[in-house]
Amino acid sequence: MKTVQYLLITAALLGGLVNAHAAKHSEKALIERGQYIVTGLGLCADCHTPMSEKGEPNMSLWLMGSVLMFKPTIEMPWAPASPAIAGLPSMTKEQGVKFLMTGLRPDGSRPLPPMPSYRLNEADATAVVAYLKSLQPATAASAHN
Does residue 12 carry a pLDDT above 60? no
Peptide bond into 50 cis (omega under 30): no
Query: What's the CA angle centered on 137, arms 70 and 63, to 5 degrees?
Result: 25
Provide the pLDDT confidence category of residue 139 given band limits of 50, 70 and 90.
Answer: confident
Report the SS3 class of residue 82: strand
**So where are the chain's domains?**
2-134
**Tens-digit pLDDT profile for residues 14-73:** 455 445 545 666 999 999 999 999 999 999 999 999 999 998 999 999 999 999 999 999
Provide the pLDDT confidence category of residue 142 given band limits of 50, 70 and 90.
Answer: low
- Count CA atoms within 13 Å of residue 66 on its CB side: 22
**Tens-digit pLDDT profile for residues 106-138:** 999 999 999 999 999 999 999 999 999 999 997
Torsion of CA 41, 44, 49, 54, to 10 degrees: 40
Single pTM value for the model = 0.79
Residue in 135, 106, 134, 103 with CA at minimum distance from that of residue 116: 103
pLDDT value at residue 1: 58
